[in-house]
Structure 1
Amino acid sequence: MLPPKPPRSTVGRQLQKSRQIAKLRTDSFVRETYRLERRDARRKAREWFDRYPKAAYWTQVESWRVLDGDVIEFTMRRLPTAD
């Protein structure tokens, strides 16, 4: 049996709070947020990992969530250069 999902209002508040915190960050990571259908989201993440290899740019999916209609909202993060 799957655990119950949290109410959307709670998830929305948590997401808003994390976005506000993200604006205050002073780190040097480059971030981009996308909202894409599942197949396109996977393709976009793969593009990032191919273009910015994890070993050199510390590329990662920083956060993600599933929206209605099988749409994925996710944030990709990487270093601006591979020194």
Structure 2
Amino acid sequence: MKTYKDLSEIQIDRIIEMAWEDRTPFDAIKLQFGISEQETIEIMRREMKPSSFRLWRERVQGRATKHAKLRTDDVDRFKCTRQRNISNNKISKR
């Protein structure tokens, strides 16, 4: 099983991007990178400013789309079509 230290900077950046996406479940992050929801939260805590982390946690906590078992059947994609791309932990302008 991978740990935070085993991940490259590019992988960490992608994990952060996936975690920010409202429709990407933690299960998809686990499948792709082999890290748990708790490890994803730890990465977000280490890599983000404290205020950004708090905002993210408030938004994600209890959100059905972040947990595959809580999703409804009408959610069939990971990323919203209107969501901006994130690169190097910064949101890109449209």
User: What is the TM-score of this pair, normalised by structure 2?
Assistant: 0.29
The structure where strand makes up a greater share of residues is: 1
Larger radius of gyration: 1
User: What is the TM-score of this pair, normalised by structure 1?
Assistant: 0.31
The structure where helix makes up a greater share of residues is: 2
